[in-house]
Chain A
């Protein structure tokens, strides 16, 4: 919540969530955390199309994605994203974490997890880390 302020470019976040209530709640939190560019999708399939049309990892900084969704769930979306955008930060929102699912998500290259229900503070910590990674990468890209 604070780190974000320090950076010139605020994060561009794609929020993928099938429940309207959860979507609105998370969006509200993101806005309170100073995020101004929030894109939303109701399922994995919609999200994947949106990422493509927005310009992939060059444009979207972080995907915040619910695990269980109709049409294409979080795991499936992650798998697809990794084939096209290996570096896109992808944080899965989990209700309950069982070890095998966590291991599977890791094997597909998940960046991190955030456990439901989460507080704005917890979400803010994730954003801080993401923000640090993104700004590092951007700097890295500039240097090279």
Chain B
């Protein structure tokens, strides 16, 4: 190549040949070496250049494809998830509702073969579901599965099914209706994963039959639980699962759409593998470079050979996008290897042609650099274009998602809204912003008449209010019944309505002042809870706008979605109302209710507590009890609180003055509040005012006492019979032995003893029954005691020491002195009988001050100064059981014949009548002290009033008592009865005449008031005398100066008394009138 001369001289032939070889050899060696190096360099650079090409192609094609494809799949799966949420949010999703919701997604995602709802159907519900679907119009509906030959047959019996229940679009997928997804092992596997993870799970590839032929697809399951949210544990997820929203996707269509969007992939083969599938099911998709129409590599080869790939998440599966350069493309796409090879050769030749080749080499390198720069710039430009394309594609996707986002915002807002008005306000704002319409307003049922719809008063005005006043006023005054106006029409149909121009619409009844509205386009949405319209929203645009399908499709869904939210808000309000109701109950109860936490801090009180404590709830709540009551009381409560916090309920009585100034007897109950674990977390305090109950009990006691008196009649009869037997027996004996003076004397003495006993019994009985006329007078207690000291000493006997101490310092009481003496005697006798073997009886008297609290605990007692007379013995004491009964009449512990059982009862009755009380303190084997408490008076002692004289008492005559003042009537009746008269009563003249008509002949005398309503005493007397001329009258009047009591009005032959009438005077007047000569019998004389 580099030229060699031929030498002719033989003598030097060997040397020349030898000399010529070394001359050529270096060139040859250099040439060979150069050639070898050049070839090696050529190969190295060629490899390097190919890698660069691949990298560039990958950057240009694979990355954008992966991004677009990833976005597309993510959006698709989000659609499925949102349908899942639709089912989670609402118990009842209707077929129409589902269709409307799904149509949006189908319209957007052309690669979706179907969107379905597969409920979880237990074996027991299978028939019900099949029947329901048939009722929906799918007459052949049944739960199916594929048999071995691929035909649809009724599903075999299983525990549960996941049949395709709703499917959209229906036309292409009707054959799938009823197909039990769980019957296909591939789908079952994905379905179980979705159920257990709570996330969207995608299936392996499955073969899809579609209108355009067969292709691979996959199914994505979004689980729906009855709890709404995904439960915490797998076990609960399995239990609460209600079904799946699912989508069936065509893999080829997804990929081709993505490829079309990126407008790439012309130079590389694309394999899409499901990395999580078994190897035989891995390959999802193949797309060859131009001219490459068959698979050249298996899945294993693709994974092992380290081709460029990207990973894509599809639900919980990973897809690999593997990019493979086409087979045989080994020729370099640029000049670098050649240049390097040539450069090597040039270097080789360079030894010879160094200078020339240097020049050539420089030019060639320059050209190479220029070419590379241009190529890089072109690549950059292509990338920029790709990026712009990608941004545009993303924007398109977001726009399509706007409606879904609106729905989402409304759902979230609806969930958060506290009041119905809030929910409506948010809805108006969102829809106005979505549609760009300026005015939104809402109607809801009238609270008084739920059929009628009235304005909520909630507006969204994105336009100035000016010019709308008339419209707003008209709207807020408007009322719509179903069918009335546009609102009524929407209300009746439950369907949205669109009006292009309200001014041209006849149904539209509201208008502005000039009959024209400031806007034209309008649409109306019913908010539906189930089938019930809970509100109607209306929106207005300034321009006339033809119905917009997009808006109508969205608002149709808002109706049911927001309706649900409104219903939830209403339910929440009901709950609050019920809380208020409970509070109302607590406040209405006539007991104080408080709740304490376990730190004894008050956490709740009702209204009555506020009233009693005269402090506001805020002042009481949050503080311990001690701040609300006195320290002593608080100390008392402390122990009780400890016990109730230990779980032991407490009930106890207290008498205290509350801050409202009222003294109350209360029963306090502490009731522990246990949590579920059985620990005490607080307690309730319930305070009941029992003051009234105590009063009623006291009255009941009194009634029982009266009852006891009735029962005693038997006992008295017995005693009297004994006495009668004695007197009868001895009288007969006296008669029999009349000639024997001694025997007669003895007998008559026994008779006398008997009558004495009878008199004693009668006297005590009368004292007890209070029929005895009480002659009250003021006397000194110590004098009264010393007056009967001798009597007391006598009644005890010599074995007893009587010790009297008086510290009353001249204090007086006002009561019946003889009864006082009798009571004291009774007490002393009682003390004596408690010490059969003799002992000391101590009588002490002193003045005591009784406070309100003490007084409140004793019947008939009021606070103030009292004289206490105590009789103390050191006898056997009284046990607790006996103590309860000692004041009961005829209760005695003494041997038969020894006591009447009336002694202490008399003492008790006496003290009560004197507005006093009796207290007993007794210790067994130590002794008993009985104290009489009598109110002290500040007056000086009075002289003793003469008692009613014996001859003035009644003799069983009958008196008709007429008095219109009820208490006075009762007092006078008692007085007359105690004087020994039978008494008939009447409360007015009219009634008196009725009584007179019924009992006329029995009545001996009429004792009557003069002034009575309608029929006065005198008129009554005159009329009565018309029938019974001899009727006797005694009149009492408190009005001595009244004209109608002038002498001419007073009937003849009757007595007249001035009120108040003293018992002795009354007794005498009655006796005189009754004894008046010749008038003993009615009707005898004029």
A interface residues, Cβ below 8 angstroms from B: 87, 89-91, 99, 103, 106-113, 125-126, 128-130, 132-133, 136
Contact = CB atoms under 8 A, between A and B. Distances in A.
Given A128-B997, A129-B994, A132-B993, A110 B1026 contact: no
Interface residues on B, range: 10 to 19
B990 interface: yes
Nearest to B1022: A136
A112 B966 contact: no
Given A91-B990, A111-B990, A136 B1014 contact: no
B964 interface: yes
B1013 A111 contact: yes
Nearest to A128: B997
22 contacts: A89-B1014, A90-B1014, A99-B966, A106-B964, A107-B1013, A108-B1013, A109-B1014, A110-B1013, A110-B1014, A111-B988, A111-B1013, A111-B1014, A111-B1015, A113-B991, A126-B990, A128-B994, A129-B994, A129-B997, A130-B990, A133-B1019, A133-B1023, A136-B1026
Contacts of A130: 990
Contacts of A133: 990, 993, 1015, 1019, 1023
A136 B1015 CA distance: 12
A90 B1015 CA distance: 10
Q: Which 5 A-B pairs have the closest CB atoms?
A: A112-B990, A111-B1014, A129-B993, A109-B1013, A136-B1023
A126 B1015 CA distance: 13
A113 B1013 CA distance: 12
A133 B1019 CA distance: 9
Contacts of B1015: 111, 133
Contacts of B1022: 136
Interface string B994-1024: 1001100000000000000111000100110
A132 B1014 contact: no
A106 B994 contact: no
B92 to A, nearest CB: 54
B988 A106 contact: yes
Interface in B1016-1047: 1019, 1022-1023, 1026-1027
Contacts of A108: 1013
Contacts of B964: 106
A2 B765 CA distance: 46
A98 B1027 CA distance: 33
Interface string B633-651: 0000000000000000000
Contacts of A90: 1014
B650 to A, nearest CB: 40
Nearest to B1026: A136
B994 A132 contact: no
Contacts of B990: 91, 111-112, 126, 129-130, 133
Given A103-B966, A132-B1027, 11 more contacts: A106-B964, A107-B1013, A111-B989, A112-B991, A112-B1014, A132-B1026, A133-B990, A133-B1019, A133-B1023, A136-B1019, A136-B1026
A126 B995 CA distance: 11
A58 to B, nearest CB: 17
A106 B1027 CA distance: 26
A50 B951 CA distance: 58
A111 B1015 CA distance: 7
A12 B998 CA distance: 24
A90 to B, nearest CB: 7
A99 to B, nearest CB: 7
A78 to B, nearest CB: 10
Contacts of A109: 1013-1014
Contacts of A113: 991
A126 B994 contact: yes
A68 to B, nearest CB: 20
Contacts of A111: 988-990, 1013-1015
Contacts of A107: 1013
Interface string B949-981: 000000000000000101000000000000000
A132 B1013 contact: no
A143 B997 CA distance: 25
A107 B991 CA distance: 16
A112 B1023 contact: no
B1026 A125 contact: no
Contacts of B997: 125, 128-129
A85 to B, nearest CB: 11
Contacts of B966: 99, 103
A106 B993 contact: no
Contacts of A99: 966
Nearest to A109: B1013
B1018 to A, nearest CB: 12
Contacts of A110: 988, 1013-1014
B74 to A, nearest CB: 79
Nearest to A88: B1014
A99 B402 CA distance: 80
A106 B1026 contact: no
A91 B1013 CA distance: 12
Nearest to B1023: A136
Contacts of B1019: 133, 136
A106 B1013 contact: yes
Residue among B993, B997, B1014 with most chain A CB within 10 A? B1014
Contacts of A129: 990, 993-994, 997
Interface string B305-339: 00000000000000000000000000000000000
A112 B1019 CA distance: 15
Nearest to B966: A99
Nearest to A130: B990
A133 B1023 CA distance: 7
Contacts of A91: 990
Nearest to A90: B1014
Contact of B994 (A87, A89, A125): A125
Nearest to B990: A112
A87 to B, nearest CB: 8
Contacts of B994: 112, 125-126, 128-129
A112 B1026 contact: no
B1024 to A, nearest CB: 9
A111 B1013 CA distance: 6
Contact of B1023 (A89, A125, A126, A132): A132
Residue among A91, A108, A112, A133 with most chain B CB within 10 A? A112
Nearest to A110: B1013
A42 B233 CA distance: 78
B462 to A, nearest CB: 59
A113 B964 CA distance: 13
Nearest to A140: B1022
A62 B990 CA distance: 12
Residue among B989, B990, B991, B994 with most chain A CB within 10 A? B990
A109 to B, nearest CB: 4
Contacts of B1023: 132-133, 136
Nearest to B991: A112
A99 B967 CA distance: 11
A76 B49 CA distance: 122
A56 to B, nearest CB: 16
Nearest to A86: B1014
Contacts of B1013: 106-111
A87 B990 CA distance: 13
B1015 to A, nearest CB: 6
A57 to B, nearest CB: 12
Interface in B775-798: none
Contacts of B993: 129, 132-133
A133 B1015 CA distance: 9
A136 B1021 CA distance: 11
B966 to A, nearest CB: 7
A109 B1012 CA distance: 8
A142 to B, nearest CB: 14
Nearest to A111: B1014
A6 to B, nearest CB: 11
A83 to B, nearest CB: 14
B1008 to A, nearest CB: 15
